[in-house]
Amino acid sequence: MSIILEGKNIKKNFNNKNVLNNISFSINKGELTSIIGPSGCGKTTLLRILIGLEKADEGSIILEGNDITNTHPSKRKMGIVFQNYSLFENMNVLENVSYPLRNATKITKEESNAKALDLLKMVGLEDSKTKYPAELSGGQRQRVAIVRTLALNPEIILFDEPMSALDANIRLSLQKEIKDLQKRIKTTMIYITHDVEEAFLLSDKIMILNEGVIQQLDSPVNIYNNPANEFVKNFVNGHINNKIQSLKESVLNV
């Protein structure tokens, strides 16, 4: 397994508050790595630094052996999918995927439309190609957003809580699709979620952050069996116990 992305001693302060404290990690090529941790622990800040929307105060980012710490976001070969879809509302589904592709690569409209249609087929949206975003469900909109990012052939796709606006059933089917897609295309993915269960379901590796420090970066099974410290143990078990408790209350009435 080769390393695709490294963070080295990344530090970030906001208003004299230490948000990321000496973060160092490696991400393996072709794996899906989730980032979990309490609200405000620095997940989004780390993602924004990796893609170049935010500058770290110290430290470096290495992509496939090249230092990209000061590289423009558009040259980092990374794509990002946000929580709020951010589709072009005035373009139909096909154009939402085809237009950015054409813009980035200067291929013809026919070529970009053909590639966009192939990708839409992968997520079952070919019949919706002439619909506008307003006519789609939340899950469909997020599929378009994912496919639009995929079209640009990024080395890494970053997700910042892509499911949090969706209801439970849609989340479940989209989670499965993302996992299948990831297995099929083998693009490296970094996936922020506040849902511990989702992280365990989807991930090859999970990074657990707390107060700007990586507590553990390991496979789900190792994290569960060998939590690195009390925080990890309580964070993971707390979520699992809450889940069992709410299941008991809502389904079993106990």
Ligand X SMILES: Nc1ncnc2c1ncn2[C@@H]1O[C@H](COP(=O)(O)OP(=O)(O)OP(=O)(O)O)[C@@H](O)[C@H]1O
C-alpha to C-alpha distances, 54 to 70, 170, 242, nearest whole angstrom:
10, 31, 35
Site track 148-187 with ligand X (rule: CB under 6 A), x = hit: ----------------------------------------
223 near 236, Cβ under 8 Å?
yes
Site track 227-246 with ligand X (rule: CB under 6 A), x = hit: --------------------
Distance in Å, CB of 43 to Mg ion, minimum: 5
Give the integer Cα–Cα distance in Å for 232 and 223: 8
Mark the segment that binds Mg ion (CB under 5 A) among 35-43, 111-119, 145-153, 197-205.
Answer: 35-43
- Indicate the residue among 14 and 183 with the shorter CB distance to ligand X: 14
- One residue of 44, 112, 193, 216 binding Mg ion per CB under 5 A: 44
11 binding ligand X? (CB under 6 A): no
43 binding ligand X? (CB under 6 A): yes
Give the integer Cα–Cα distance in Å for 194 and 36: 6
How many C-beta neighbours within 10 Å does residue 232 have?
A: 20
- Indicate the residue among 44 and 112 with the shorter CB distance to Mg ion: 44
List contacts with ligand X (CB under 6 A).
14-15, 19, 39-45, 194
